[in-house]
């Protein structure tokens, strides 16, 4: 896939590849849950994610980076403890 994207015109292939890498960076960051790698690893992966989002030139990825920044303390708590309240959030009932 990487070779296919690099073979496209840079205006098309580069943003898609950068966006794909940003998603992979976010998944790498979230995979650290319960692993206790230390704050330096969190910071490095978070910076790499933010950098790719900023360089993607895609507004959706800029908004994704803003969302991660807004929720970073909660995300970090999940990474450190592995505990989330997603189950209760998913069962809220609207009236």
For the chain, the structural domain boundaries read 2-81
- In terms of Cβ atoms closer than 10 Å to its own Cβ (0-12, 13-18, 19+), residue 68 is middle
The whole-model pTM stands at 0.75
Percent of the chain with pLDDT over 90: 28
pLDDT, tens only, 38-78: 888 889 999 999 998 998 888 999 999 999 999 999 888 88
Alpha helices in 1-95 (DSSP H): 2-7, 10-30, 39-56, 59-70, 72-81, 86-90
Residue 87 has pLDDT above 80, yes or no: no
Instruction: List CB contacts of 83: < 8 A, sequence separation 6 or more.
Output: 77
Alpha-carbon distance of 90 to 85, in angstroms, equals 9
């Amino acid at each position: 896939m990487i070779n296919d994207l690099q073979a496209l015109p840079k205006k098309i292939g580069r943003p898609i590849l950068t966006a794909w890498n940003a998603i992979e960076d976010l998944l790498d960051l979230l995979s650290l849950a319960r692993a206790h790698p230390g704050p330096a690893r969190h910071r490095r992966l978070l910076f790499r994610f933010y950098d790719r989002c900023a360089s993607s030139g895609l507004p959706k990825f800029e908004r994704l980076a803003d969302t991660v920044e807004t929720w970073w303390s909660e995300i970090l708590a999940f990474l450190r403890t592995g505990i989330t309240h997603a189950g209760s959030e998913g069962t809220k009932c609207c009236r």
